[in-house]
Amino acid sequence: MYTIDIDEIRALANDVASTSSGSNEFDLLKKKLHERFQVSIPEGLKNAAIEKFGDVASAPILYENLTNSILRKKVEDGENNITIKNPRALYRIGVFGFSEPINLNLTVEGNVGNFFGAFCNFNGTWTVKGHAENGLADKGYCGKFVIDGLATELVGQNNQSTNYSHGVDILVRKGCMERAMAQARGGNLVTFGAGFNSGLYMSDGVLMNLGEPGELFGAGMVGGTIYTKQGTTTGKGAAIKKLDENDYEKIKNVLRIFEGDLDIVNLDDFSKTNSRLEFTNIKQEEIDFREFEKIVADENTVY
């Protein structure tokens, strides 16, 4: 188990900035960070930080770069349980670029910024004990995310299903904002609320909205399935249909991924004739899937 406290890096960088002159600040910071974390910061970061943010120590891109470098090094060293503390909504955390799936359980204590886990390709669970901003798991290949708070726009955007990946599985406990699973080509999203235009241009995968009915779901979709409470409206290209036996099986399979996270107690018995599920998300609830409908591509739409 390894913990990265980003406030520790901030304190170190501020200490270097307060005790060194502008010309040698970057070199000294680089040396200290290498001593402490055995990672290097690229030379190009110096100019980018100064040009954009006036100095190195206050530049968010320093902390993004360092956090990802430290995570990458720890994964290469064989660590597979890491906690990040005090992320303060840093953008682009967990963007690695490993060529093969990695094994990593990651817990983030706080909010994450845009594109958390973009291009992700891992086995394990990444948990955010806070909110997530735009593009959570954007273009992800595989992995499981549990977001305790809200997620803003484009959750699971471009979720990828390929010959070698099944897509990313995402649970958002307090709900997503606009265009969740936009252009998804695979994967599963379970959310307690989804904003306008969710499922936009979906071609595969499942969006399961367990919250209030949504608006303009599925515009331009050509594949995939959206399960949502009755009352949801669709965009052009999407059709609302009743659930059949196969849908109950599909819903069961998707919820199985988050069975432990949602404390679902009677999932084994779930079927069209036994359509109620008890679970605990923010609070204990019961959902009757007879109140649900599915949204799929409208085969009669001509583009």
Partner 1 sequence: MCGICGLMMDDSNLRHSPVGSVLQDMMESQQVRAQDGAGIAIFDKSNAGDSFKIKNFRKEGMSDYTIDEIDSSSENVSEKLQKLRQDPECHFFSFENEMTILKETGLAKDLDKKYGIRKMNGSHGIGHLRIATSSRVTPYNTHPFSTTIIPDIAIVHNGEITNYNMLRDSLELEGFTFYTDSDSEVIAVFLASRILKHGDIERAHREFVAKADGPFTYIAATVDSIAIVRDKFGTRKGIIGYNPGTNDHPPFWAMATDLSALDVVGATTKIETPHPGKPRIFYRN
Q: Is 67 in the site for partner 1 (CB under 8 A)?
A: no
Q: Is 195 in the site for partner 1 (CB under 8 A)?
A: yes
**Residues 172/191, Cβ–Cβ less than 8 Å:** yes
Q: Is 52 in the site for partner 1 (CB under 8 A)?
A: yes
Task: Give the nearest distance from C-beta 216 to partner 1 in angstroms.
Answer: 9
Q: Is 224 in the site for partner 1 (CB under 8 A)?
A: no
For partner 1, give the closer residue by CB, 91 or 192. 91
- Cα–Cα distance measured from residue 291 to residue 211, given in angstroms and rounded to the nearest whole number: 12
Dihedral sign of CA atoms 233, 161, 67, 146 in order = positive
For partner 1, give the closer residue by CB, 80 or 233. 233
Task: Give the nearest distance from C-beta 111 to partner 1 in angstroms.
Answer: 5
245: its two tokens: 């036996």
**Residues 37/70, Cβ–Cβ less than 8 Å:** yes
| Window 228-257: contact mask with partner 1 (x via CB under 8 A) | ------------------------------
Task: Give the nearest distance from C-beta 6 to partner 1 in angstroms.
Answer: 14
**Residues 17/25, Cβ–Cβ less than 8 Å:** yes
- Cα–Cα distance measured from residue 137 to residue 120, given in angstroms and rounded to the nearest whole number: 6
* Selected binder of partner 1 within 113, 167, 214, 237 (CB under 8 A): 113
Residue from 40, 46, 105 nearest 73 by CA:
40
Q: Is 54 in the site for partner 1 (CB under 8 A)?
A: yes
* Selected binder of partner 1 within 8, 20, 58, 85 (CB under 8 A): 58
- Cα–Cα distance measured from residue 104 to residue 251, given in angstroms and rounded to the nearest whole number: 27
**Cα angle value 203/132/186 (rounded, 5°):** 15
Instruction: Please spell the DSSP secondary structure of 162-204, one letter per residue.
Output: BTTB-EEEEEESS-B-TTTTTT-EEEEEEES---TTTTTT--E
| Window 71-110: contact mask with partner 1 (x via CB under 8 A) | -----------------xx-x-------------------
Point out which span in 148-156, 236-244, 253-261, 272-280 binds partner 1 (CB under 8 A): 148-156
Q: Is 126 in the site for partner 1 (CB under 8 A)?
A: no
Specify the length of the chain in residues. 303
Q: Is 153 in the site for partner 1 (CB under 8 A)?
A: yes
**Residues 106/144, Cβ–Cβ less than 8 Å:** no
Point out which span in 128-136, 236-244, 247-255, 282-290 binds partner 1 (CB under 8 A): 128-136
Element (H, E) at 233: none
For partner 1, give the closer residue by CB, 58 or 203. 58
Task: Give the nearest distance from C-beta 9 to partner 1 in angstroms.
Answer: 16
Question: How many Cα atoms are found within 13 Å in the side-chain-facing hemisphere of 294?
Answer: 18
Q: Is 196 in the site for partner 1 (CB under 8 A)?
A: yes
For partner 1, give the closer residue by CB, 102 or 216. 216
- Cα–Cα distance measured from residue 51 to residue 266, given in angstroms and rounded to the nearest whole number: 57
Binding site for partner 1 (CB under 8 A): 52-54, 58, 60-61, 88-89, 91, 111, 113, 130-131, 133-134, 150, 152-153, 177-178, 195-197
